[in-house]
Amino acid sequence: MELRKRRGLMTALILVNIGFTAVFLLIRLIGHAFAPYANPPAGGDMIFEILVAGFLSTFGFIVAATVGCTAGSRDLTEGMFRHLVVTGRSRLALYLARIPAGLAIVVPLVAIGYLIVCAVCVFAAPAFIDDSNVNIPPGLSLAGFETWAGDHAEPVICLLPYNGPIPGNVACPGWSKSAVAPSQPAPAELEALAVKIASQNYQGYTQILRRPPVSLMIEAGLWIELEAAVGFILGLGLASLMGSRLLPVISIIVLQLILTPILSAVDLPHLQDLQRSFVGLAMTHLEPAGLPLARGVPGISGGVGRPGAAQSLLPESATVAVWVIVAWLAAWTILGAWRMMTRDA
């Protein structure tokens, strides 16, 4: 109840977790509805990856940490700590009660924002598979893919990857899309070349997704909720230990957006164990395999500018990453509770 009464905090929480992504997707939906040729579909696998790995995970962590810092310092900064102590309730119980209370606010809001992203990315996904700027119908077999390529010979020859020479009678004027069949059939030799190119690119075609898989959405949702829970408990413990909100919030932002990316990008042979002990790197190792952008964007979940770099520089098992996260949660909960139990009323 105390957290819900802080309108500024709740407004910021709703805007970051729900508002920004909802407005972004709404603009894309409206743009595609009124100008479908100029604006791509609002959903799809790539939009899902960008929003989940590039926005929801990082800013969800920071906002959850801000809520935790507020819960850990509000009673002290507003002079209510003495009134809580004189009630006779255990100080440990007073501290532990903040964990489910804060998570009851953070977790549902993060879930609502994430469900909006999933719904738009699934129901507003592209109708075609975009491969090298060529619109291809989804779900084609190898024979069907080759037949389609023969009907779209010139766009296939010009746009799909091919190491051989392009015939001189193909102008390649720069198609942007090829969803509509050409009005005139191509010569037989061009159709044969297009079929050959299609057979070489079929494996890549089958790996392109129009919408995120259900398994990825479930794993990514659990991962984002874990990010938010870690951020909240970390902020709660740090704010209780320091007795304020501003400095812990700044410290967590520096940890998430500056220190973690640097430690992920630099290989320190004699300090690898220290690098692995950071919670941001541990969370990166637990990131679902279908979200490479979380490690590819600097400042995002330990991103270092290229996919998979955290694993290549600091190889560790998922078990070790889990234990690092558990250790951080336990340590900051113990420190925060200890400070509340020993603080003068």
Residue positions counted in the chain = 345
- Please compute the mean of the pLDDT values over residues 291-305 and round it to a whole number: 43
Report CA torsion sign: 79, 83, 84, 90.
positive
- Please compute the mean of the pLDDT values over residues 57-85 and round it to a whole number: 78
Are 195 and 299 contained in the same domain? no
Are 192 and 87 contained in the same domain? no
Q: To which H or E segment does residue 254 belong?
A: helix 246-254
Are 308 and 231 contained in the same domain? yes
Residue 304, pLDDT > 60, answer no
Residue ending a domain, choose from 174, 192, 207: 207
Class of residue 316 by CB neighbours under 10 A (exposed 0-12, middle 13-18, buried 19+): middle
Whole-number pLDDT of residue 303: 37
Residue 116, pLDDT > 90, answer yes
- Between 103 and 173, whose confidence is greater? 103
Are 96 and 220 contained in the same domain? yes
Closest of 250, 307, 226, 294 to residue 55, by C-alpha: 294
Residue ending a domain, choose from 191, 207, 223: 207
Whole-number pLDDT of residue 291: 75
Whether the model pTM is above 0.75: yes
Are 200 and 59 contained in the same domain? no
Phi-psi category of residue 243: left, alpha or beta, with phi > 0 → left and psi -120 to 50 → alpha: left
Are 225 and 324 contained in the same domain? yes
Query: Rounded to the nearest 10 degrees, how much is the dihedral formed by the CA atoms of 222, 223, 225, 231?
Result: 160
Are 225 and 335 contained in the same domain? yes
Q: Residue 131 pairs with which residues in a beta bridge?
A: 134
Are 142 and 167 contained in the same domain? yes
Report CA torsion sign: 142, 144, 146, 148.
negative
Residue ending a domain, choose from 155, 181, 207: 207
Are 226 and 167 contained in the same domain? no
Residue 306, pLDDT > 60, answer no
Give me the long-range contacts of 144-149 (CB less than 8 A, separation at least 24): 145/198, 145/199, 145/202, 145/205, 146/195, 146/198, 146/199, 146/202, 148/198, 149/194, 149/195, 149/197, 149/198
How confident is the model over 145-197, as pLDDT tens digits? 888 888 888 778 777 887 777 776 666 655 545 544 554 677 788 888 888 88
Are 111 and 242 contained in the same domain? yes
How confident is the model over 205-224, as pLDDT tens digits? 777 778 888 999 999 999 99
Are 300 and 331 contained in the same domain? yes
What is the DSSP-derived secondary structure letter of residue 181? P
pLDDT band at 119 (very low <50, low <70, confident <90, very high): very high
How confident is the model over 226-248, as pLDDT tens digits? 999 999 999 999 988 888 888 88
Residue 315, pLDDT > 80, answer no
Domain coverage including residue 181? 130-207
CA separation (Å) from 240 to 99, 232, 255, 337?
A: 12, 12, 18, 8
- Please compute the mean of the pLDDT values over residues 300-324 and round it to a whole number: 59
Are 292 and 220 contained in the same domain? yes
Q: Residue 134 pairs with which residues in a beta bridge?
A: 131
**Could you tell me which residues come within 8 angstroms of residue 4 by beta carbon, excluding any fewer than 6 positions away?**
10, 105
Report the C-alpha gap between 167 and 196 in whole angstroms: 14
How many domains is the chain partitioned into structurally?
A: 2
Judge whether 123 and 41 are in contact, CB under 8 Å. no
Portion of the chain with pLDDT greater than 70, in percent: 80
E strands in 164-271: none
Report the C-alpha gap between 251 and 21 in whole angstroms: 26
Q: Which of 60-74, 93-107, 292-306 has the lowest mean pLDDT?
A: 292-306
Tokens of 189: 């030799």
The DSSP secondary structure of 321-345, one letter per residue, reads HHHHHHHHHHHHHHHHHHHHHHS--
- Mean pLDDT for the chain? 79
| SS3 letters across 124-166 | CCCCCEEECCEEECCCCCHHHHHHHHHHCHHHHHHHCCCCCCC
Tell me how far apart the 2 most distant CA atoms of the chain are, in Å: 91
Whole-number pLDDT of residue 285: 82
Residue 299, pLDDT > 60, answer no
